[in-house]
Structure 1
Amino acid sequence: MFFSVVENKSMVNQSGKTGKQLKMTSYLAQEVRLARRHEEILSQRSVLLQQMETYLGDKKTKKTWQTQAADAAHKRNAALLNDIEAAEKKLQERVYLLPHPDTVKLETLYWASVEESLPKWEEFLLGRAETPIGFKKMKSAKWNISYPEEDSQK
C-alpha cells in the first residue's frame, strides 16, 4: 500500500488520476462489495438461525408430544395388563369352583341312580323293613371294633 512518491507521480492515467487514487478507488469498490457480501451473509445467517430455532422448537414440541403419548400408552398398557390379570384370576377361581365335566356327568348319574333306588331303601332306612334285595350283608367280624382299654381289662 505504501507507494513511493515517485511512483505515484509517474502513474497518471488519462483521466488525470494518479495510481494511488486508482488503487484507492478499487479498494473502495472492493470494500463496498465486501460490505454488501457481508450483509448478505449476515441476513442468511439470521434466516438460518431462525430456521434452526423453529426446527429445535418443533423438535422439542414433538419430543414432548411423543413423551406424553408414550406415558399414556404405558398407563393404558398397565391398565390392560391389570385387567387381563384380574380376568385370569377370575377364570382360575371359576376352574376351581366348577368341577370337570366328566365329574359333573358322574355325579348326575350317581344321583339319578340314588333317586331310582330310593324307594327300595326308604322302608329299610326308616327301620320298617329288611335290607333290599341285592344288598349283601357284611360279616359281623368286620364290624367288631376292639379298643385297647377293653383288652387291658380282660
Structure 2
Amino acid sequence: MGIQIRDEQKTDLQAIENLTKQAFLNAEHSSHTEHFIVNRLRNHGQLMVSRVAVENGIIVGHVAISPVTISSGARGWYGLGPISVLPEKQGMGIGSLLIHAALERLKQFDAQGCVVLGDPNYYSRFGFQTYPELYLADVPPAYFQAIAFHEPIPRGEVVYQEAFNAID
C-alpha cells in the first residue's frame, strides 16, 4: 500500500469534502454533517491539524483536529475528528496511519492532550482511554476517551467548537 500522509493543500478542499461525505454516507452513528463540520472548522481558523492520505494521487483519507474547551480552564487540549476514509479503503489501516500522523503533529504544537468521541475498542489502540473526571455531556463515558501527552488529565466537561453543530 503506497500511502503518503501530508498536510492538506488548498487544492484538496473539494476532494476532502467529497471524501468525507462518502465516508459517512452509511455510517450508523453519523449526523451526515461531518463535511460541514470540517469546512466550518477550516473557515473559522479552528482546523489545527488537517492531514490527508494520498494513494496514487487520489485522496483516500482525511483527519481533522480542533481545539476543545475544558470547564476547569485547562489549556492545550484538542479533539480528534472527523476522520474519513473512502468506504472501499476502510479496514486497510489508512485511518490508523492518519491518527498516528495527526497525534504526532499535535505533539509538535506542544499540546497537552487530545480527546475523541468514538468506539473505545478502536481508539484504545492509540492510547486513548476513559477518564471519569473528563467528560462530554450527554455521552456514555465509555465512548469519550482522552490521551495525555503531559500528565495529569484535567478534570471537567469538554466542549467542542461550535462548528460541530454545523448543518450546512
**Shared fold, TM over 0.5:** no
Superposition TM-score tier, normalisation by shorter sequence: under 0.3
Q: Which structure has more RCO (C-alpha within 8 Å, separation ≥ 6)?
A: 2
TM-score, length basis structure 1 = 0.14
Q: TM-score, normalised by structure 2?
A: 0.13
Structure number with greater Rg is: 1
Greater share of residues in strand: 2
